[in-house]
Amino acid sequence: MKNIKDIDLKNKRVIIRCDLNVPMSSGTISDSNRIIKCLNTLKYLLSNNCKIIILSHFGRIKHEEDKEKYSLKIVAKKLSEMMEYPVHFINSCYGNKTKEIVDSYPLKSIIMLENTRFMDLVDKQESHNYSELAKYWASLADIYINDAFGSSHREHASTAGICKYLPSAVGYLVKEEIENLKPLINIDKRPFTIFMGGAKVEDKLPIIKKLLPKCDYLLLGGGILNSFLKAINIEIYDSLVTEDPLIIRELKELYISYENKIILTKNYIVDDNKILDINIEGYKKYLNESNLIFINGTPGVFENDKFKKGTEDLLNYVKTLDAEVIVGGGDTVSAVKKMNLENEYKFVSSGGGATLEYIADGTLKALEWIDK
Ligand code: ADP
Ligand code: MG
């Protein structure tokens, strides 16, 4: 797969897909990490005298009313501050007029188009990878760069289809993710232990099924633990659990097939009749033994101070080990940041679902479209 270093970008018009889907709280950006992660590639493009056209999605757009909340205008402003360079925001991402405006900017300009998912309001054109839309975006530039690792598990017009119409390569962020996640794909260190927590087992079950043959231990927390416990007939009160009996049956079968790998603690914190956190004590012996550890999903409801101990203990404990530790996932990384532990691990991945799919499959759907 080509990366940004493999192609001649000098004086070119480059359209770049970033992942600027930043978290918001009461109308302001609550965490700029995703913007920071793009700066490297953008600065490199500027230093090559490129005209830069930025595409990104932002939030979920289901109705016309969602547009106001998820305009990228506020992100363009923040990016401009961080780059210390003008970022020209265009309040549309499609059409002749938009093309005229984009075309009018000279080299060494940074232009940000409006949220790509606005195009989902008619026929889900972005999410369903409409070729007409991909072709339109391609018509604005000479080269396409994908630097949106966190969105590359999806084949959308802006992450996949566009590659058909332009020379393509990945940017520095994607390159760094791929290089750093390599140990989790060609597992060269064992025992390899995965801790998986988080809310919904439905989201993570397909990944769990792919990871079980690869790992040596799977330690569980969160709603996933609850569902496994239920599957083996342990009382979980009113805890968060999957309602789907087929999933429960599948979990039971998995547990029987991988009884020595799937480790379920019974040491948990119950409040208001719900399991809301775990005590990680019983997991330490597996972690101690491991040479490679991957953590995704929090052991408990860490957002609530009363139930953050399991998350804090786990994140603090693994940093004291000799094992190579890699952490990924939106909420998990926000816990890492809250605790100022970003530099304590071998790697902290910027992706959530994308990171999980990457380590399960060894590739991501959108990256398969990039020039070889
Ligand atoms: P990531 O975003 O890192 O992939 P997840 O979204 O899967 O992680 O998991 C984090 C979420 O899981 C948090 O919002 C947390 O409150 C929730 N969670 C963890 N344990 C429980 C639990 N026992 N019951 C309900 N929610 C839980
Ligand atoms: Mg999450």
183 lines ligand 1 (CB under 6 A): no
The predicted pLDDT at position 192 comes to 98
Instruction: Give residue-wise pLDDT tens across range 342-370.
Output: 999 999 998 988 999 999 999 999 999 99
Is any ligand 1 atom within 6 A of the Cβ of residue 241?
A: no
- Per-residue pLDDT reduced to its tens digit, 35-92: 999 999 999 999 999 999 999 999 999 999 999 999 999 999 999 999 999 999 999 9
Q: Which pLDDT value is given to residue 240?
A: 96
In DSSP terms, 52 is beta-bridged to: 14, 110
Ligand 1 neighbour 199 (Cβ under 6 A): yes
Report the separation in Å between the CA atom of 256 and the middle of ligand 2, taken as the mean of its atom positions: 28
Distance between Cα 213 and ligand 1 center (Å):
24
Bond before 167 cis per omega within 30 degrees: no
Helix (H) or strand (E) holding 211, with range, is: helix 201-211
One-letter-per-residue 3-state SS of 68-102: HHCCCHHHHHHHHHHHCCCEEEECCCCCHHHHHHH
> Position 210: which residue type?
K
Q: Is 129 in the pocket of ligand 1 (CB under 6 A)?
A: no
Per residue in 297-308, pLDDT tens? Answer: 999 999 999 999
Distance CA 239, CA 266 (A): 14
Angle formed at CA 363 by CA 360 and CA 369, multiple of 5 degrees: 150
- DSSP secondary structure letter of residue 368: G
Type of residue found at 140:
L
Distance CA 28, CA 235 (A): 42
Q: Which of the ligands is closest to the CA of residue 315?
A: 1
| Contact 297 CB / ligand 1 (< 6 Å) | yes
Atom 16, ligand 1: which residue's CA is nearest? 301
pLDDT tens digit sequence for 14-45:
999 999 999 898 999 988 999 999 999 999 99
Ligand 2: centre distance to CA 200 (Å): 9
Residues sharing a CB contact under 8 Å with residue 156, sequence separation 6 or more, in sequence order: 57, 116, 126, 127, 129, 366
